């Protein structure tokens, strides 16, 4: 008797939200959930331009079912056209969600 897990490629479920305002800054969150395999690109854009990754704070985790979740936070001082850009091997093209 063998106990075997079989993983299939799973696309991320992507969402963006405004999470809090501290010290005059607003924080926005981009979440990619339930994806497999773990390799995923998740970047913030402002007015169509990619933002420096050093400006973001990310948390990644493995879910109980073996899939993965990535949360990326970005502190912003204005509300000018922010987007979350996500690419994964399960996607035919990158996903872009606008705030």
State residue 6's pLDDT score: 61
pLDDT at residue 92 greater than cutoff 60: yes
Compute the radius of gyration of the chain from its Cα atoms. Answer: 15
For range 67-94, the mean pLDDT: 92
Q: How far apart are CA 54 and CA 75, in angstroms?
A: 11
Tens digits of residue pLDDT in 7-61:
689 999 999 999 876 676 788 999 999 999 999 999 999 999 998 877 778 889 9
pTM: 0.85
Given CATH 3.40.190.10, say whether it is the number of domain 13-98.
no
State residue 8's pLDDT score: 82
Q: How far apart are CA 68 and CA 46, in angstroms?
A: 26
Per residue in 73-91, is it b (16+ CB within 10 Å) or e — as a string? bbbbeeeeebbbbbbbeee
């Amino acid at each position: 008797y063998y106990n075997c897990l079989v993983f299939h490629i799973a696309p991320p479920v992507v969402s963006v939200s405004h999470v809090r305002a501290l010290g005059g800054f607003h924080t926005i969150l981009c979440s990619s959930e339930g994806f497999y395999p773990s390799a995923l690109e998740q970047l913030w854009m402002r007015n169509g331009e990619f933002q420096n990754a050093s400006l973001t704070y990310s948390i990644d985790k493995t879910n109980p079912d073996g899939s993965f979740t990535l949360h990326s936070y970005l502190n912003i001082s204005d509300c000018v056209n922010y987007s979350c850009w996500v690419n994964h091997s399960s996607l035919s093209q990158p996903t872009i969600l606008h705030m």
